[in-house]
Amino acid sequence: MKQSVLAALAALCALLLWAGCAQEEPRPSMTGLCLAAEGGGYLILTEEGEPIVMSNQSGREDLFQGLGSGDRIEVVTDGAVQETYPAQVGVYSCTLLEEGSPEDLPQEVLDALAELDWIPAELAEEEAFHPLDQNRDGAVDGADLALSGMSREEFAAALVEQGLTGTLEEAEQVADGLLSVNYAVCNTVPERAQEICGYPPAESAAG
């Protein structure tokens, strides 16, 4: 009888030990920015700036549904990142952490992926509009003051500080709708528009 009990206990211990060893390790996760690719695919741009193609391994067709370029996401992966460019990884779940926009993505990464036809070329060639150009028409004038939420004085001061007008008097005329600043619009991101193009002073009078 004792031998039977001991044998049963040994078998139970062995079973528990096997079950403990058989438990899967938690799958690794990563956080980054989502990037919608050509043909309906999706990439994640990691915190280190590496673009990785996400392969849906969840069995759910709607895993990436509703995501847009620039959204901050967290994904659970298989941990096997393929060393290609862009890299690739299997994804089992995806959580939206914060909504974003394409402007949140590094331009150099967009350019590199556009050259490889991974993303639409127009995404990499987003026109740069000046922050004060609220209606994005390529000019700064009184209409933009109305949309900016700034006071006349704040708007005029910003025009001078950001090099759109040479004097405060010109800036006040822009705020009053008497002048329009036609600045250069470059195929780059807003952060580099000043560096590449510069913004000329007001040259044209509004009719």
* Residue 92 binned pLDDT confidence (cut-offs 50, 70, 90): very high
Contact 12, 20 (CB under 8 A): no
Do the bridges between strand 139-140 and strand 179-182 make them parallel or antiparallel, or are there none, so unpaired? antiparallel
* Mean pLDDT within 160-166: 86
Instruction: Decide: residue 35, CB within 10 A, 0-12 exposed, 13-18 middle, 19+ buried.
Output: buried
Instruction: Please give the CATH topology (third level) of the domain spanning 29-124.
Output: OB fold (Dihydrolipoamide Acetyltransferase, E2P) (2.40.50)
State which of 41-45, 79-83, 135-139 shows the largest mean pLDDT.
41-45
What is the per-residue pLDDT across 97-144, written as a single tens digit (0 to 9) for each? Answer: 999 888 888 878 888 888 878 776 656 655 556 788 888 777 889 999
Kindly report the pTM of this predicted structure: 0.51
Burial state string for 133-168 with b = 16 or more CB within 10 A and e = fewer than 16: bbeeeebbbbbbbeebebeeeebbbbbbebebbeee
Domain ranges across the chain: 29-124, 139-205
What is the C-alpha separation between 110 and 45, in angstroms, rounded?
A: 10
